[in-house]
Structures are given as structure tokens and as C-alpha cells.
Chain A
Amino acid sequence: MKSALTGDAAGLPTAAGSDGRPAPLAWFAGMMDHCYDYAEAAKSQGRPIVGIMCEFTPREIILAAGAVPVCLCGGSAATIPAAEQFLPANLCPLIKSTFGYHVTGKNPFLNWADLVVAETACDGKKKMFELMSATKPMYILELPQKADDPDALEHWTAEVRKFKDYMDQRFHTHITDAKLRDAARLMNRERALRRQLADLLTLDSPPLTGRQLSEFKSIISGIEEDLQQYERAIQLFRANPAPSGTARPQIRVLLTGVPIVHGAERVLELIENAGAVVVAQENCTGLKPILDDVDADGPDPLRAIARKYYHLPCSVMTPNTRRLDTLRSLAAKFRPHCVIELIWQACLTYDVESFHVRKLAAEELLLPHLKITTDYSPSDSARISARLEALFETIRARRAL
């Protein structure tokens, strides 16, 4: 069961450090196994497991309740046929994969979950959760969509407060401001460490690839060993920068769009196999949710938590100008040669919003833009590679790289 969720180790070095601990890359290559052990131990100690499927869900509330927040997003094509018995084929593969795990019972974290938070961040997930709720305890967290409307933020704050009250009642806890502040500090620490790692790719010769960086994550937040391994990785990469000026200059890619869940890294690999490096990912499995922190020391920690999460620049918000601002600042910082946008099939909000991203790239950032619409099946890999190679040929011809 444990290995069912373990993805490829992406060919990463696995040698142990001099202190006998596994090297950071090797540690995160075993991320699923560590999360399994952690959740199993937590469960046996009576800690509730709470499944989430969206970065809008404030993990701080779950942590402050003494529970374990686990990301349940599915990244496997193998569970999709089981899901399609219940869901339409023309639906986002992330939703189908997640629901497929539910149908087949192959995600131990979902099986253990005492509660699943059903975010209304996308219509596909929202209606899928209705099907899942037949057999899974569920709490619906309603997300308003007007990003800059103060009333909408008030409504969201009330939703987060209701969620906190529900957690107290459901798990017989008492979430105090002090507990919320502690949880926010822990999450801030995790976000800051992951930001520092991501910032290594601002270098002209990054010491790690975008694919390697994508290994540095955990489906369970706040595990102390993970945080220490992030720290070690930062030290290690800072001490061993990549040799510069040796190889042909790499094409730098700013990747934006849908989340790339563990196991669904195919397009990321195709990009880097075509001779580029993904220097920044503006998506929910990359930088998007870790750019801002929670003000843990302000007068109202719950309000501070609600505000941080509400301002996530997801395509479900309208108008989603914060995403374009984020892309502007990432482009200035990471100096990409092009913008590649990944859209999962039937993700309408990202697909339509692509119009604005293309316009931003062409008219303001002055960068070529390529949109890739696909799902979890590898059948179009050769076609995607041809488009990537053509894009990189164009960039090399123009910039004489």
C-alpha cells in the first residue's frame, strides 16, 4: 500500500551525508513513504487526519487543532478509468485521479482521513466532492471570487472562522489565538525555506533543475525533519554552486498554469529534456502559495490567516490581476526566455485566462508564450516535445544562444 503513491525519484543522487542522514534530495525522493509513516504514527496517537485539495484551505487552522493536513490531489493516470465510471471523461485529470483513488481505495491518506475539506475553488472539484461525501465526512469551505472586494474578504474570513469552530466541535479541541500564531509561524518557516530553495534558480547557472526543485515538497506540512532537510539542502546548494560558463547556455522557462501534482511531472520533464531549465513555477505546486506569509504577530491571527489565503492568485478569482502581477515580478526576478503555460484538459478558468497571460507575455514581458493543454496520459508526449523544441529553436535563433 505504501508504495502505491511513490513516484519516480527523478534520477536524483541518494548518497548519505557525513552525519549518516540521507542527502536532502534522497530524503525527499522518499517523501511519500515518510508521509505515510508520519500519518500512521499520528493516527495511532489519536491525531485526526484532514484531507485538503486546494491551496486556499488554511493549513494553520488544521495544525492549530492538532490535526495533520494532507494534500489529497491525485497525480496518477492509473486511477482515472475507475473515476470515469462516475465522472465525465471530459473533466480535469487531477480531479478524476483524486476521485479514482477514492473509488479504488488506493490512497491510504484518503482512507485514513477523518475529514475532507471541500473547497469550492473550482466547479469540477465542488461537484466531485458531492459524490465523495456519500462515504466521506466533509466540510465545505466556500470561497468568494471577487478578489478585491472587501465584503468578499469578510465573507471568506467568516468562512475560515466557521471552519475553526467546526474543527473545535468536531475534534473536541480549543483553537486559541496562541495556537493559531504557532501554526502560522510554523507554516511561515516552511514557506520561507521553500522560497529560499526556489530562489537558487535565479542564478545564471542554477545548481539544481526545476524537476529537482519540484521534489522538495511534502504532501504533509510542518514535519520537522522536512524543514531541517530544506535547511540542509539550502546550505548544500549554496556551498556547491553549479560550474558556470561550461555548457551551452540553457533556455530559462517561467512555467505557469495548473498545479503539477506528485507523479504528474511529465510536462516538466519534457521541457527540461528539450534542453531548458524551468527556473520558476507560478502554480499551486510551485511558488504561488508560498510567496506570502501570515502576519503571526498582529492583533487577529485568524483574520491574518484568512487574508493571506484569500489573496492566492488562482484563475477562479475574477478579475485575477494578482496573477499577472505575480508573473511580472517573477519574470523580473528569474529572467526567463519564455513563458510556458500548462493547462489540464477541461480546466476552463486557466484555459480562458490564458488569453491574458499570452497578452502579458507578448506585449509587456516581450517573451514568447506556449500553451500546452494535456492530461495525465503520455500519448501526446512526442507532439508536445516537437512544440517545445520548436519554441527553443526560435529562442536560440533570436538570441543567438
Chain B
Amino acid sequence: MICAGIDVGSRAIKAVLFDTERREILASGLAAQGVAQERLAADLFDSLLKNARLERPCVSGIVATGYGRHAIRFADTTVTEITCHARGVYWLAPDARSVIEIGGQDSKVIGLENGGRVRDFAMNDRCAAGTGRFLEMVAARLEMDWDKLAQLGRQGTKPAQISNICAVFAETEIIGLLAEGAPLPDVVAGVQNAIATRVAALAGRLLSPPVYFTGGVALLPGMARALEEVLACPVQVSPRPQFTGALGAALSAAATPTSAG
């Protein structure tokens, strides 16, 4: 049986085709988010099918997840990103007991119980300070791309103190720090620490090792280290961090009785 998962995130749409008999990912892909979410998701889905030499009727179930999940009418059902990331990470790393996910506009911490089910979770409220949006804003302010940002963060020796309460105020703080002549690597490392501290406040009671880090922000190498320092425990980057939500959605489609056709 072949199932599909589509993760409609704030910055990108991710899709995974999964073969439940062979227990493997047949195809995965990513498209930038835009206005016509459903059409973008459908185009991405069709391109994956083409890569895997499949047709739509071959797919027995489609689950949509992510903040735009309700916009995907061709999906059979929706499952929240919390359940999906837990499922996806657990499938890739069955020793995982906690998941930290940082995406474009969300950060969440999920505690897992045996079997990879969600035991408890916490999610950011109205503030983007602990999310990828904050990093994007900083990259834009410092006029550099994502890779350069990661590289600089690693060079920081004395991370600057930056507010973790409000992304907008943090930006004005950064302008102030630059005006005072603070070294750029220290500013970037400070931003990463601010995000990590924010996520650590969410984590609190939920975190038990091994901790896996997923979501688009996990691709930024300095972030896992910043989290390790603040949480004082090892943090491993999940395999395929951008796709754990879509993979979890595909696994959910496989587990949904109504789609087992």
C-alpha cells in the first residue's frame, strides 16, 4: 500500500510518498509556500508521483498536516503537526524520547511514550521569538543568507545577550549591538542562544533523553549546539528534519482504517 503525507508549513510545503509493505520512503519533495496553497501542494504531489512512476489511484491514503492542513481538500483527512512530527521522528529514530521541532513560525517540544505516541507537548503561543521566522529576520537585517548565518554563528566566542521575549524588540537590540561594534559572529550566536532559551522554557518538564531536533531550523548547524548548551543535554539532529512532519502524515495515512483500501 502506498500512502502520502503533505505538510503545509508556513514557509514550505513538504510531501512524502511511503510504501507500507517495503517500509520505505519512495519519494519526497519540497516547494516554497505561496498564496494558492492547495494548487502548490497538488503540483508537488503530482511531481512526486511522476518521479516514483505512479498515478494518483495507486495512493490509498493522503493525510495533510501543518498550519495549512485544512486547505488541502484532496487529502482524506488531517492530523496535527504535533502527532505527525512525533510519528515521523520515531520512525526514523526509534530511540527518541523527546522531539524539539522548530519551523518557520512554530516551535514545539514533544515528549514521547513507548511506541512513539505523544505523551505531552508544549507549543509557542503568539510570539515568533523562538522560531525560524526570527532567524530569517536576523539574516535579512544582517544582509546574509542562511548558510553564511550558520557559519558565522559557529565562530561566535562570546554570544551577545539578546531578548528572547519579542522578535521585534530583539531586532532593535541587534541594531543597537551592531552600532556598538559587537562582532557579527557574537551577535548571530546570541540570536541562536535566544531561540534556544525560548525553546528550553517550553521544554521544562517534557524533556527526557534521547532528544531529537527536527524542523527546518534543525538544518542550521549552530542551533543544535545552542540547544545542547542551554538544555545541558545532548541534542541530535533528526534524519531528514524538514520531512518528519510529512513522513508522520504518510504514516498516519497508513494507520487510518478508512484509507486502507
- What is A's interface to B at a CB cutoff of 8 Å? 368, 373-374, 379-380, 382-383, 386-387, 389-390, 393-394, 397-398
Q: Give complex CA distance A142, B136 in Å.
A: 51
Inter-chain contact A393/B118, CB cutoff 8 Å: yes
- A374 CA / B119 CA spacing, docked (Å): 23
Which B residues are CB-close (under 8 A) to A398? 117
Given A394-B117, A397-B117, A398-B117, are A386 and B125 neighbors across the interface (CB < 8 Å)? no
The CA-CA distance from A394 to B116 in the complex, in Å, is 11
**Residue interface mask B68-110, A partner, CB < 8 A = 1:** 0000000000011111000000000000000000000000000
Q: Nearest chain A CB to B45's CB is how many angstroms away?
A: 22
Neighbouring B residues of A393 by C-beta, 8 Å: 79-80, 82-83, 118
Interface flags, B107-125, vs A, CB<8A=1, else 0:
0000000000111110101
- Docked Cα-Cα span, A389 to B120, in Å, equals 13
> Please, how many angstroms separate the alpha-carbon atoms of A397 and B90 in the complex?
16
Q: What residue in chain A is nearest B124 (Cβ atoms)?
A: A383
Contact B83 A380 (CB under 8 A): no
The reply to whether B79 and A383 form a contact with Cβ atoms under 8 Å apart is no
B48 to chain A, nearest CB (A): 25
Q: Please, how many angstroms separate the alpha-carbon atoms of A172 and B125 in the complex?
A: 52
User: How far apart sit A373 and B126, CA to CA, in the bound complex (Å)?
Assistant: 10
User: Is B67's CB within 8 Å of the partner chain A?
Assistant: yes
Interface string of B142-154 (1 = CB under 8 A from A): 0000000000000
Contact check, B123 vs A383: say whether CB atoms are below 8 A apart: yes
Task: Give Cα A116–Cα B153 distance, bound, in whole angstroms.
Answer: 58
Please measure, in the bound complex, the distance between the C-alpha atom of A56 and the C-alpha atom of B99, giving whole angstroms: 44
Closest-CB distance, B207 to chain A (whole angstroms): 15
**Contact, CB under 8 Å: A373 / B80:** no
Number of A-B contacts (CB under 8 A): 38
Residues of A within 8 A of B117 (CB): 394, 397-398
Q: CB-nearest residue of chain A relative to B105?
A: A383
Chain A's closest residue to B80 (CB) is A390
Tell me, in angstroms, the Cα distance from A374 to B67 when the chains sit together: 19
Known A386-B123, A393-B82; 10 more pairs at CB < 8 Å: A379-B126, A383-B125, A386-B67, A386-B80, A387-B121, A389-B80, A390-B81, A390-B121, A393-B83, A398-B117
Least CB distance, B129 to chain A, in whole angstroms? 15
Q: Nearest 3 CB-CB pairs, A to B?
A: A390-B82, A390-B80, A394-B118
Q: In the complex, which residues of chain A have a beta carbon less than 8 angstroms from the beta carbon of B121?
A: 387, 390
Q: Which residues of A contact B123 (CB under 8 A)?
A: 383, 386-387
Chain B contacts to A: CB under 8 angstroms: 67, 79-83, 117-121, 123, 125-126
* B80 contacts A380, C-beta separation under 8 Å: no
Query: Cβ of A394 and Cβ of B126 under 8 Å apart?
Result: no
Cα separation A387 to B67 with both chains bound (whole Å): 11
In the complex the two chains form, is B126's CB within 8 Å of A380's CB?
Answer: yes
Cβ-defined contact, A368 with B82, below 8 A: no
* Chain B nearest Cβ from A321, distance in angstroms: 22
A-B contact pairs, 6 of them (CB 8 A): A380-B126, A383-B126, A390-B80, A393-B80, A394-B83, A397-B83
- Are A380 and B125 in contact, CB atoms less than 8 angstroms apart? yes
Q: B120's closest neighbor in chain A, by CB?
A: A368
Which residues of chain A are within 8 angstroms of B83 by Cβ–Cβ distance?
Answer: 390, 393-394, 397
Q: Within the assembled complex, what's the spacing in Å between the Cα atoms of A380 and B128?
A: 12
CB distance from A381 to the nearest CB of B (A): 11
Q: Is the CB of A382 within 8 A of B67?
A: yes
Nearest chain A residue, comparing its CB with the CB of B83: A393
Q: What is the bound-complex CA distance between A386 and B83, given in angstroms? A: 10
B163 vs chain A, min Cβ distance (A) = 15
Q: Which residues of B contact A383 (CB under 8 A)?
A: 123, 125-126
* Best-surrounded residue of A379, A380, A386 (most CB of chain B within 10 A): A386
Contacts of A380 in B (CB 8 A): 125-126
Residues in B with CB closer than 8 Å to A397 are 83, 117-118
User: Across the interface, which residues of A come within 8 angstroms of B80, CB to CB?
Assistant: 386, 389-390, 393
- Tell me the bound Cα distance from A277 to B83 in angstroms: 21
B residues near A394, Cβ cutoff 8 Å: 83, 117-119
Shortest B202–chain A CB gap in Å is 12
A374 to B125, CA, bound (A): 8
CA distance A390 to B79 in the complex (A): 8
In the bound assembly, the distance between CA atoms of A75 and B143 in angstroms comes to 45
**Residues of B contacting A373 with CB < 8 Å?**
125
Task: Give the CA-CA distance A380 to B126 in the complex, in Å.
Answer: 6
B82 / chain A contacts, CB cutoff of 8 Å: 386-387, 390, 393
